[in-house]
Chains A and B, each alone.
Chain A
Amino acid sequence: MKNEMTLAFDSISENEGFARVAVAAFVTQLDPTLEEVADIRTAVSEAVTNAIIHGYPDGVHTVVVRALLNDETVELWVTDEGVGMEDIKQAMEPLYTSRPELERSGMGFMFMEAFMDQVEVRSSPGAGTTVYMKKRICKSHVQQGG
């Protein structure tokens, strides 16, 4: 099966929960396990929170989440047109954060990489950031309870 959706929403923290729930609901079409859904929820939360906190440090702008289901894979794109990053490699290092004063722990990309099979970042200063993530949903698991 193939199915695609796009969400565009304001960069306010209330929408972190909304984005998680919306993507999780969409992904259930692939019959994922509870653990796979939890993984995707966490990854979406991290990418969307980054767009809101880091991408748009000032003012309310638009965050776009695109999800594509294709047989046994979920692909996600989380995009902001905010400040972008100078050094993507440094940003993705575990425990690196540019905002320690906000009590950020620098674990967002670490969690995205732990919970998804593939994470790629495209970003340039002043132009914004897109985080691409991909995860295979195992069809092999035995369905329980009807």
Chain B
Amino acid sequence: MRLLLIQKKNPVSEGLFQEISWDSPFLYGIIIGGAIVEWMEMKGSRLVVSLPAELDHHYTEDIRTEIDRAVSNQPVDEVEFDFTRTIFMDSAGIGMLIGRYKIMRALNGRIILSHMNRQIQRILSLSGIQRYIQLDGEEAV
């Protein structure tokens, strides 16, 4: 896994986390403590974004800034939002997804959502966002 970016809202220095995996208890503690740690990884021309546990207004602000920077700095055909770790999302998450959908459409690309739990799926289906966005990015890459 290639690390493009780690961002956080706490005083711990950036470099500390460069090689630490999600399994690290230390890193886990930092996340629970309210820090934002995002992983974005390029797989070919797909940008894979590992979303945080709680996707609310507090977190979406920073996530969208970093995605927008990544897609403007390099050729990206698809952005995959991986919900593996995500247990909560509200309308702020929907707004962030719709915004990225619009940007990727303008770039002739698309966005893909994967590994949603039941709560996330309910929110997504209520929002009607499925009309535009492909769910589940598990198909062959």
CB–CB B90/A111 < 8 A: yes
A35 partner residues in chain B, CB cutoff 8 A? 118
- Bound Cα distance from A110 to B94, whole angstroms: 12
Q: Is A105's CB under 8 angstroms from B123's CB?
A: no
Residues of B40-93 whose CB lies within 8 A of A: 54, 56-58, 60-61, 64, 88, 90-92
Q: Would you list which residues of chain A between 34 and 53 have a CB under 8 Å from chain B?
A: 35, 38, 41-42, 45-46, 49, 52-53
Q: What CA separation (Å) do A41 and B99 show in the bound complex?
A: 24
Q: Report yes or no: A105 in contact with B34, Cβ–Cβ below 8 A.
A: no
- Whether A107 lies near B94 (C-beta < 8 A) is yes
- CA A86 to CA B64, docked complex, whole Å: 31
Q: Which of B98-141 contact A (CB under 8 A)?
A: 98-99, 118-119, 122-123, 126-127
Q: Which residues of B have CB within 8 Å of A122?
A: none
Contact of A111 among B57, B64, B91, B99 (CB under 8 A): B91
Q: Interface range on chain B: under 10, 10 to 19, 20 to 34, or 35 or more?
A: 20 to 34
Let me know if A13 is at the binding interface, CB within 8 A: yes
- Report if A108 contacts B (CB, 8 A): yes
CA distance in complex: A110, B91 (Å): 9
Q: Could you count the A-B residue pairs with CB atoms below 8 Å apart for me: how many are there? A: 65
Q: How far is the CA of A52 from the CA of B57 in the complex (A)?
A: 10
Bound state CA distance, A38 and B120, in angstroms?
10
Q: Could you write out 25 A-B pairs with CB less than 8 Å apart?
A: A13-B56, A16-B57, A17-B54, A17-B58, A20-B88, A35-B118, A38-B122, A41-B88, A42-B88, A42-B119, A49-B56, A49-B57, A49-B91, A49-B92, A52-B57, A53-B57, A104-B91, A104-B95, A105-B95, A107-B94, A107-B127, A110-B91, A110-B126, A111-B123, A111-B126
On B, residues with C-beta under 8 Å from A are: 34, 54, 56-58, 60-61, 64, 88, 90-92, 94-96, 98-99, 118-119, 122-123, 126-127
Q: A residues touching B (Cβ–Cβ < 8 Å)?
A: 13-14, 16-17, 20, 35, 38, 41-42, 45-46, 49, 52-53, 102-105, 107-108, 110-111, 114
